[in-house]
Structures are given as C-alpha cells and as structure tokens.
Amino acid sequence: MLRSPTTILLAPALLALLLSSSQAQNQTDTFSPVTRWDRDYKIQVKPYAMPQAGTPGLQSFASGQVGNEWVVLAGKTGGMHSFETGNRSAWVIDPVSKQVWHRDLDDPLSGLSQQAVNSLSGSNTQSYQRDNTLFVTGGYVYETEEDNFTTYNNLTAVDLPDLIDWVKTPGTQMAGNTILQTTGETSSSGAYEGGLFQVTGGGMFEVNGQTQLVFGQKFEGAYDHGQSYQKYTSQVRTFEIDYDHEEGTLSYTNPEIHPAGGDPTQFRRRDLNTFQVLSKDAAGDDQLSGVALSGVFYQGEGIWTVPVEISEDGIPTMKDPNSDPDVFKQALNGYECAKLGLYSSDTGEMIEVLFGGITANEFVDDPSTGNLEYKSTFPFTNQISAVSIDADGQYSQTYLGDMPSIESPLNTDWLFGSNAEFFANGDLSLLEGEIIDLDGLTERTLLGYIYGGIASATPDGGFGGNSIASSQLFTVEYVLLPEPTTLLIWSMLGGLAITARRRRSRSV
C-alpha cells in the first residue's frame, strides 16, 4: 500500500499510516452506528499450531484450494515496506495433516520463463478460483534481473491439482499446461490506461461466467525514489475467460469497461475488501453480484466510507451521502483483510465478516466505557467486524470482538489480518460465490482458517521495522450460544456508550 505520489510513498501491501495530526479528509465526516454482535451464534477465532511444518510467512499473495490443501503463490515474505521480498516459490499447505511443501518456480524443471516467474512473484495481484483453476491478474513486481518495479499485464491460469503434484514430488518435471499466460490488450479508445490486466491492489471475482476486475491501480517505478508513476483505474473491467487445460489454450473475449475512462469521484479506490454477495431478486430467487467496501485514498489521503455495489454486468454504483444522510458509512476494518461471507436464503441476509487489518475507528482501551474513537493515523487493528446487508438491501455494521492475543517480541500484541486470507473448511459445501450457507449451520462447525498477512507489533507498523509477514494460522468456528445478548456501542453519529465492561481475552 502506498500514499499518493504527492505525499508519502509506501509499499503496495500496506495502507499509509502517517497522516497529519489533524483528521484526514475522508469521504464523509461521520460513520454509521456500530452495534455489538447479538446473534444466537458467535464466530470464534483461535490460534492453530503447525509444529515443525515450516509454514512460510507470506502476505499479499494469491491462493487456491483443492480439498484441504491450499496453494499459495506470489506475495511478499517480509512485512511493511518490504519492497524486494517477492515470494518466488509455490507452496502447498495442508492444515489437517499439518504438512507444508514448496518448490521454487525458477527450478529448471518448472519449464517457466523468467517473465512468468516474475509475474508469479508479485504482490497485491488479483485472483479467484473457478473449479480447480486459479486465475491471477496483474500485481506489483520487482524484476530482479532489471532492478525494476512495475505492474504486470498478465492473465495467468493455474491448474491446481497439477501444481500440487509438482510441488509435492521433488525432481519431477512440471506437467504441460499447468501454468498458462496471456497478456491484456491496450485500449485504442482511451477507455483505460495500460494493459487490460495491468492492475495491482484491486479485486477480482466471477459472476455468471463474467470476470470482474474491480478498481485498483497501475504503478510504475519504486515507491521510495520519488520518480514513480501512479494511475488508479477508477473502474470495473469485465471479460470472459476462455480456458482449456487439456488443449493448453487461454484467452479472453468481450472486454467491457465500466465506466470508460474511469470515475475518480466515486471509484478511485484500491487495497479494499471486494467480494461476491447473494441477495433476492424481484422473483425472490437468490442472485449473485459484487460489493466493494471502503478503500483508499479519498482525495489523496483519506478513506472512502460508502460501499460500491457492482451489478452482475459489472456496473458499479455508489449512493450519494450528500443527498441522503442515512447512507451507510463504514467505520471499521477499512483495509483489505481476511474475510468470510455468510448467507441465509431463508431471511435474504448477507453477512461479510472482516478480520483485523487497518481501521479508521477503534474502541478506547477503557473497560468502563468501551467507546469508539476515530484514529487519524489509521492503525493496524485486531478488531473483528461484520457488514450485513438485509433482504431490503439495507446495510449495518457490528463489532464481534478481537483476534486472539499473541505476544510480540516488543511485549505487545501482534496485530493480524491485513492482506491475510480465509480458507474455507474443505468439507463444507459452499454456495455460489464461495459463500457459506448460514441456514445449513445447526451445530458447532469449523468454517475454515485464517493464514498469513502482515503481523504488526505496533499500530503504525514501525515503518517496516516492527512488522513481519505472518506464518500464524487461526481456526474460525461457528458456535451456537444459549442466549443471545444485545448491546449498543457508541457511534460517531449518535454518541451512545456501553455500560458493560469490556474484557480482553485470548479468543473471540
């Protein structure tokens, strides 16, 4: 993550944390109320040990999953400001058997070109999985042989079973067609800048067979040299991927741009949480679309607060907070972080749970109040929140608690979640969009795991010195409660304060 070139320049994996002492110019001056989680179940997070497994510390990576085996590519091996720590290995992690395997992508037996290896060592790529294929676009890349930083313009298709076999079988040749790549065309009409896939820090998912590449930016040059070039896309780029593993073909068709040329007044965003959502259509059937929350930077230094809804055709829309004061304004977990989606077809409610990361508001560490307080420095946080969308399309936000307390070498708690990933339990049957079926959860259930990301020992990350790429795993469980509780928390709008004591514990 970085600042605008006119201010402080930071790494692509991280939100700029040094703002002025006064409040940044955010999209809105206030935030919507935050209430305490009051469901008849809780989301419980616990540390999960992988002794002797050699789990790597990685952040801002691309990942896929086959059963209970995870494939992790690209990303960084260092913490904040780790410009040149690109991951050049393919990793396979099995949390059930507690085993880890890896092979270097520049192993001669991979058969990959230097350019292909570089593209799969970038940070903040966009990726999603279709069946057993992982698709990856863009990413900010350090080209070691050129000593150059750039955003790549590649679409990559990875056959996950083939790659897993290669990684777990040393000395073997990578099977043909395991990794295929194509480049994106440039626009002759000026609808977008650079190549179609030349994006870093955006989101990507598929809706009804159409891939949506959401927001992000193109960045050229090193962040810390002052001679760089930055261009936000401010748009959603859609296309259809044509891929045949057996034939060894990869291409794309029907690219469309929404809006052409971009709209920075609404969509100049990156390093944000984008995800698929389920909702009811006019006939009462479940339909898939997309949502983008918060993100940076508003007017070059602040945060966005109003969500963007993305139609099944890839058209983004944002409600105007100036014309409607009741528009939802996100208060917590604004930066890209580990997340999971829950949907109830019975009620039509979609819930996205956000784990840690970076936030604009935190609870004051005072057990007598537990009030929310605006933080102009946008600190790393262990807070867990949820953004809910009801059957009428109304948004709300709740606070669930904190990530488990794990002590850092500075005798502070590590702050987890930023650029981490959630991996679903391989035994779960997921809904469309890899969303968990809330109606099917009737007992204590392992939903999945959180892995990787940036772990910071201080709220500001210590500008690189106090943060690492995390190797920590956590389990995430659905746990029924005997009695739901209701507690309203102070919001920046209403000024309401809780009276119960907030206790700090080692699990949520």
pLDDT at 15: 30
Residue 504 has pLDDT above 50, yes or no: no
Nearest CA to 292 among 209, 202, 380, 360?
202
Largest CA distance in the chain: 65
pLDDT-based confidence at residue 23 (cuts at 50, 70, 90)? low
Nearest CA to 223 among 128, 116, 151?
151
Task: Kindly give the pairing relationship between strand 454-456 and strand 89-94.
Answer: unpaired
CA–CA distance, 343 with 278 (Å, rounded to integer) = 7
Nearest CA to 372 among 405, 336, 399?
399
Q: Say if CB 188 and CB 195 are below 8 A apart.
A: no
Residue 326 has pLDDT above 80, yes or no: yes
pLDDT-based confidence at residue 147 (cuts at 50, 70, 90)? confident
pLDDT at 366: 60
pLDDT at 213: 99
Residue 144 has pLDDT above 90, yes or no: no
Distance between start and end Cα atoms, the chain: 28
Element (H, E) at 265: helix 264-267
Residue 24 has pLDDT above 70, yes or no: no
pLDDT at 83: 72
Residue 4 has pLDDT above 70, yes or no: no
360's tokens: 């604009």
Q: Look up residue 161 and give its amino acid.
A: P
pLDDT at 364: 73
The phi, psi pair for 267, rounded to 5°, reads -120, 15
103's tokens: 């092979």
Q: Is the backbone peptide bond immediately before 297 cis, with ω within 30 degrees of 0?
A: yes
Q: Which residues pair with 348 in a beta bridge?
A: none
425's tokens: 């339990």
Cβ-Cβ contacts under 8 Å for 379 (sequence gap 6 or more):
17, 358, 359, 362, 415, 459, 460
Residue 278 has pLDDT above 70, yes or no: yes
Of 354 and 364, which is predicted with more confidence? 354
Instruction: Just give the CATH number of 34-480.
Output: 2.120.10.80
Distance of CA 439 to the CA centre of its chain: 25
pLDDT at 13: 33
For 63-67, 204-208, 463-467, 475-479, which range has the lowest pLDDT when averaged over its residues? 463-467
Q: What does 173-232 look like in DSSP terms, one character per residue?
A: PPPTTSEEEEEPPBPSSSSSSSBTT--BS-EEEEETTEEEEES-EEEES-TTSS--EEEE
What is the average pLDDT score of the chain? 89
Task: Kindly give the pairing relationship between strand 62-66 and strand 467-469.
Answer: unpaired
Domain ranges for the chain: 34-480
Of 145 and 267, which is predicted with more confidence? 267
Average pLDDT over residues 326-340: 97
Residue 282 has pLDDT above 60, yes or no: yes
For 8-17, 224-233, 277-286, 307-316, which range has the lowest pLDDT when averaged over its residues? 8-17
Residue 277 has pLDDT above 60, yes or no: yes
Q: How far is CA 375 from CA 155, 371, 379, in A?
A: 38, 13, 7
The phi, psi pair for 364, rounded to 5°, reads -60, 135
For 40-49, 242-251, 370-379, which range has the lowest pLDDT when averaged over its residues? 370-379
pLDDT at 31: 95
pLDDT tens digits, residue range 389-410? 999 999 999 999 999 999 999 9
pLDDT at 320: 97
pLDDT tens digits, residue range 466-476? 999 999 999 99
Q: Which residues pair with 349 in a beta bridge?
A: 344
Q: Look up residue 457 and give its amino acid.
A: A
| Cβ neighbours, 10 Å, residue 477 | 18
Q: What does 101-170 look like in DSSP terms, one character per residue?
A: EEEETTSGGG---HHHHHHTT-BS-EEEEETTEEEEE--EEEETTTTEEEE--EEEEEEHHHHHHHHHST
| DSSP three-state, residue 389 | strand
pLDDT-based confidence at residue 47 (cuts at 50, 70, 90)? very high
Of 384 and 4, which is predicted with more confidence? 384
CA–CA distance, 476 with 447 (Å, rounded to integer) = 6
Average pLDDT over residues 496-500: 32
Q: What share of the chain is helix, strand, coil (3-state, %, to 5)?
A: 5, 40, 55
Q: How far is CA 48 from CA 202, 296, 448, 449, 476, in A?
A: 29, 32, 11, 9, 10
The phi, psi pair for 6, rounded to 5°, reads -85, -5
| Cβ neighbours, 10 Å, residue 346 | 9
Nearest CA to 494 among 294, 307, 322, 325?
325
pTM of the entire predicted model: 0.91
Owner of token pair 């966009």: 126
pLDDT at 482: 83
pLDDT tens digits, residue range 449-468? 999 999 999 998 766 579 99
For 185-194, 204-213, 232-241, 479-488, which range has the lowest pLDDT when averaged over its residues? 479-488
